[in-house]
Protein backbone atom coordinates (compact mmCIF):
# COMPACT_ATOMS: atom_id res chain seq x y z
CA UNK A 1 0.00 0.00 0.00
CA UNK A 2 2.71 2.59 0.82
CA UNK A 3 4.34 1.97 -2.56
CA UNK A 4 1.05 2.54 -4.39
CA UNK A 5 0.57 5.82 -2.49
CA UNK A 6 4.07 7.03 -3.33
CA UNK A 7 3.54 6.19 -6.98
CA UNK A 8 0.23 8.01 -6.98
CA UNK A 9 1.83 11.12 -5.48
CA UNK A 10 4.56 11.02 -8.13
CA UNK A 11 1.99 10.81 -10.89
CA UNK A 12 0.07 13.73 -9.43
CA UNK A 13 3.20 15.83 -9.21
CA UNK A 14 4.12 14.95 -12.79
CA UNK A 15 0.64 15.85 -14.01
CA UNK A 16 0.61 19.24 -12.29
CA UNK A 17 0.21 22.06 -14.78
CA UNK A 18 2.41 25.15 -14.62
CA UNK A 19 0.28 28.12 -13.53
CA UNK A 20 0.70 31.34 -15.50
CA UNK A 21 -0.58 34.82 -14.63
CA UNK A 22 -1.13 37.26 -17.53
CA UNK A 23 -0.72 41.01 -17.12
CA UNK A 24 -1.64 43.13 -20.15
CA UNK A 25 -3.85 46.20 -20.55
CA UNK A 26 -5.49 44.86 -23.73
CA UNK A 27 -8.31 42.36 -23.18
CA UNK A 28 -7.88 40.93 -26.69
CA UNK A 29 -4.25 40.11 -25.97
CA UNK A 30 -5.13 38.50 -22.64
CA UNK A 31 -7.89 36.42 -24.25
CA UNK A 32 -5.59 35.26 -27.04
CA UNK A 33 -2.84 34.26 -24.65
CA UNK A 34 -5.28 32.47 -22.37
CA UNK A 35 -6.65 30.44 -25.27
CA UNK A 36 -3.17 29.40 -26.40
CA UNK A 37 -1.96 28.55 -22.88
CA UNK A 38 -5.07 26.68 -21.78
CA UNK A 39 -4.83 24.48 -24.88
CA UNK A 40 -1.50 23.10 -23.62
CA UNK A 41 -1.44 19.89 -21.57
CA UNK A 42 1.29 21.15 -19.24
CA UNK A 43 0.20 24.72 -18.41
CA UNK A 44 -2.85 26.77 -17.51
CA UNK A 45 -3.79 30.40 -16.84
CA UNK A 46 -4.02 31.06 -13.10
CA UNK A 47 -5.39 34.58 -13.49
CA UNK A 48 -5.08 37.87 -15.33
CA UNK A 49 -4.94 41.62 -14.71
CA UNK A 50 -4.86 44.82 -16.75
CA UNK A 51 -2.82 46.96 -14.33
CA UNK A 52 -0.02 46.67 -11.80
CA UNK A 53 -1.99 46.93 -8.57
CA UNK A 54 -4.54 44.32 -9.66
CA UNK A 55 -1.66 42.12 -10.80
CA UNK A 56 -0.01 42.21 -7.38
CA UNK A 57 -3.31 41.27 -5.74
CA UNK A 58 -3.88 38.48 -8.26
CA UNK A 59 -0.38 37.09 -7.89
CA UNK A 60 -0.81 37.10 -4.11
CA UNK A 61 -4.06 35.13 -4.29
CA UNK A 62 -3.14 32.67 -7.07
CA UNK A 63 0.60 32.19 -6.45
CA UNK A 64 1.46 31.37 -10.09
CA UNK A 65 4.70 29.78 -11.27
CA UNK A 66 5.23 32.41 -13.96
CA UNK A 67 3.97 35.92 -14.65
CA UNK A 68 3.70 37.11 -18.24
CA UNK A 69 3.95 40.91 -18.03
CA UNK A 70 3.67 43.74 -20.56
CA UNK A 71 5.66 46.97 -20.16
CA UNK A 72 2.83 49.45 -20.77
CA UNK A 73 0.29 49.32 -17.95
CA UNK A 74 -2.00 51.86 -16.35
CA UNK A 75 -0.46 53.45 -13.27
CA UNK A 76 2.48 51.27 -12.29
CA UNK A 77 4.37 50.25 -15.42
CA UNK A 78 5.70 46.76 -16.13
CA UNK A 79 9.22 47.43 -14.88
CA UNK A 80 7.96 48.67 -11.51
CA UNK A 81 5.56 45.75 -11.30
CA UNK A 82 8.38 43.28 -11.88
CA UNK A 83 10.47 44.88 -9.13
CA UNK A 84 7.58 44.80 -6.64
CA UNK A 85 6.45 41.29 -7.56
CA UNK A 86 9.95 39.84 -7.36
CA UNK A 87 10.62 41.51 -4.00
CA UNK A 88 7.37 40.09 -2.58
CA UNK A 89 7.61 36.69 -4.28
CA UNK A 90 11.27 35.85 -5.00
CA UNK A 91 10.42 32.46 -6.52
CA UNK A 92 8.11 34.04 -9.13
CA UNK A 93 9.47 33.70 -12.67
CA UNK A 94 8.76 36.64 -14.99
CA UNK A 95 8.71 36.83 -18.78
CA UNK A 96 8.07 40.20 -20.42
CA UNK A 97 5.91 40.13 -23.53
CA UNK A 98 5.77 43.58 -25.11
CA UNK A 99 5.53 45.57 -28.31
CA UNK A 100 8.24 47.94 -27.10
CA UNK A 101 11.73 47.96 -28.58
CA UNK A 102 13.75 45.20 -26.94
CA UNK A 103 16.99 47.12 -27.50
CA UNK A 104 15.65 49.79 -25.15
CA UNK A 105 13.70 47.69 -22.66
CA UNK A 106 15.03 44.12 -22.48
CA UNK A 107 18.10 44.87 -20.37
CA UNK A 108 16.01 47.05 -18.04
CA UNK A 109 13.52 44.21 -17.63
CA UNK A 110 16.30 41.75 -16.79
CA UNK A 111 17.73 44.16 -14.23
CA UNK A 112 14.25 44.51 -12.72
CA UNK A 113 14.04 40.74 -12.22
CA UNK A 114 12.66 39.20 -15.42
CA UNK A 115 14.35 36.14 -16.92
CA UNK A 116 13.27 36.85 -20.47
CA UNK A 117 11.98 39.45 -22.91
CA UNK A 118 9.86 38.61 -25.93
CA UNK A 119 8.40 40.87 -28.60
CA UNK A 120 4.65 40.43 -29.17
CA UNK A 121 5.22 39.94 -32.88
CA UNK A 122 7.00 36.68 -32.01
CA UNK A 123 4.27 35.40 -29.70
CA UNK A 124 1.93 33.70 -32.18
CA UNK A 125 4.53 31.11 -33.17
CA UNK A 126 6.95 31.06 -30.25
CA UNK A 127 5.16 31.83 -26.98
CA UNK A 128 4.58 28.19 -25.96
CA UNK A 129 8.15 26.91 -26.49
CA UNK A 130 9.53 30.05 -24.83
CA UNK A 131 7.26 29.56 -21.81
CA UNK A 132 8.39 25.93 -21.53
CA UNK A 133 12.02 26.98 -21.79
CA UNK A 134 11.64 29.50 -18.98
CA UNK A 135 9.67 27.06 -16.82
CA UNK A 136 12.64 24.68 -17.15
CA UNK A 137 14.78 27.30 -15.49
CA UNK A 138 16.33 28.82 -18.61
CA UNK A 139 16.19 32.42 -19.85
CA UNK A 140 15.12 33.93 -23.16
CA UNK A 141 16.25 36.79 -25.36
CA UNK A 142 15.92 37.05 -29.11
CA UNK A 143 19.00 36.40 -31.21
CA UNK A 144 19.04 40.10 -32.12
CA UNK A 145 19.05 41.15 -28.47
CA UNK A 146 21.57 38.50 -27.48
CA UNK A 147 23.99 39.68 -30.18
CA UNK A 148 23.48 43.30 -29.14
CA UNK A 149 24.36 42.53 -25.53
CA UNK A 150 27.41 40.51 -26.52
CA UNK A 151 28.71 43.36 -28.71
CA UNK A 152 28.01 45.94 -26.02
CA UNK A 153 29.77 43.93 -23.35
CA UNK A 154 32.68 43.47 -25.74
CA UNK A 155 32.75 47.25 -26.26
CA UNK A 156 31.83 47.03 -29.92
CA UNK A 157 28.35 48.53 -29.84
CA UNK A 158 28.75 51.86 -31.58
CA UNK A 159 26.76 55.02 -30.96
CA UNK A 160 25.38 55.08 -34.48
CA UNK A 161 21.72 54.19 -34.40
CA UNK A 162 21.64 53.98 -30.61
CA UNK A 163 18.47 55.19 -28.95
CA UNK A 164 18.69 58.67 -27.41
CA UNK A 165 16.67 57.24 -24.51
CA UNK A 166 19.28 54.65 -23.54
CA UNK A 167 20.70 56.78 -20.70
CA UNK A 168 17.36 57.47 -19.02
CA UNK A 169 16.58 55.88 -15.68
CA UNK A 170 13.60 53.53 -15.52
CA UNK A 171 11.47 56.21 -13.85
CA UNK A 172 12.54 58.86 -16.38
CA UNK A 173 11.66 56.52 -19.22
CA UNK A 174 8.28 55.82 -17.64
CA UNK A 175 7.51 59.55 -17.37
CA UNK A 176 8.78 60.16 -20.89
CA UNK A 177 6.33 57.53 -22.17
CA UNK A 178 3.46 59.16 -20.29
CA UNK A 179 4.40 62.55 -21.73
CA UNK A 180 4.38 60.89 -25.14
CA UNK A 181 0.81 59.80 -24.51
CA UNK A 182 -0.11 63.45 -23.99
CA UNK A 183 -0.49 63.34 -20.21
CA UNK A 184 0.14 66.50 -18.22
CA UNK A 185 2.39 66.70 -15.18
CA UNK A 186 -0.51 66.77 -12.70
CA UNK A 187 -2.03 63.64 -14.25
CA UNK A 188 1.32 61.84 -14.29
CA UNK A 189 1.80 62.63 -10.61
CA UNK A 190 -1.64 61.21 -9.82
CA UNK A 191 -1.09 58.08 -11.93
CA UNK A 192 2.28 57.33 -10.35
CA UNK A 193 1.28 58.40 -6.83
CA UNK A 194 4.16 60.85 -6.58
CA UNK A 195 4.26 64.61 -6.09
CA UNK A 196 4.03 67.16 -8.88
CA UNK A 197 7.42 68.49 -7.75
CA UNK A 198 8.97 65.05 -8.21
CA UNK A 199 7.57 64.80 -11.74
CA UNK A 200 8.89 68.27 -12.54
CA UNK A 201 12.34 67.24 -11.29
CA UNK A 202 12.31 64.19 -13.54
CA UNK A 203 11.20 66.36 -16.47
CA UNK A 204 14.13 68.69 -15.81
CA UNK A 205 16.47 65.69 -15.98
CA UNK A 206 14.77 64.58 -19.19
CA UNK A 207 15.27 67.99 -20.80
CA UNK A 208 18.94 67.91 -19.93
CA UNK A 209 19.59 64.32 -21.04
CA UNK A 210 17.59 64.69 -24.26
CA UNK A 211 18.88 68.20 -25.00
CA UNK A 212 15.47 69.87 -25.08
CA UNK A 213 15.25 73.59 -24.35
CA UNK A 214 11.91 73.68 -22.51
CA UNK A 215 8.83 71.77 -21.37
CA UNK A 216 6.95 72.30 -24.64
CA UNK A 217 9.86 71.02 -26.71
CA UNK A 218 10.21 67.99 -24.42
CA UNK A 219 6.50 67.22 -24.73
CA UNK A 220 6.58 67.54 -28.52
CA UNK A 221 9.62 65.28 -28.74
CA UNK A 222 7.99 62.69 -26.45
CA UNK A 223 4.77 62.66 -28.48
CA UNK A 224 6.66 62.27 -31.79
CA UNK A 225 8.74 59.47 -30.29
CA UNK A 226 5.71 57.68 -28.86
CA UNK A 227 3.82 57.72 -32.17
CA UNK A 228 6.90 56.71 -34.18
CA UNK A 229 8.37 54.03 -31.92
CA UNK A 230 5.41 52.97 -29.80
CA UNK A 231 7.30 53.61 -26.55
Instruction: Round to whole Å and give the CA distance between 201 and 198.
Output: 5
CATH number for position 20: 3.40.50.2300
Domain co-membership, 143 together with 33: yes
Domain co-membership, 133 together with 175: no
Is pTM, for the whole model, over 0.85? Answer: no
Q: What is the mean pLDDT of residues 31-38?
A: 95
Structural domain containing residue 138: 13-151
Buried b (16+ CB within 10 A) or exposed e, 20-37: bbbbbbeeebbebbbebb
Which residue would you say has higher pLDDT here, 10 or 209?
209
Residue 107 is predicted with a pLDDT of 86
Per-residue pLDDT of 167-196, as tens digits, reads 888 889 889 988 988 888 998 888 888 899
Domain co-membership, 194 together with 146: no
Amino acid sequence: MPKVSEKSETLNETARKARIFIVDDHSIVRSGLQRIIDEQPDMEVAGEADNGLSALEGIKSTRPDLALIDISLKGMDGLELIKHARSLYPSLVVLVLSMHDELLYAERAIRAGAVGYMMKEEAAENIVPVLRKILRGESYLSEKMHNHLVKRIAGKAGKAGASPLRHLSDRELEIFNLLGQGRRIQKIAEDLSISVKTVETHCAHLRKKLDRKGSVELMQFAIRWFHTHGT
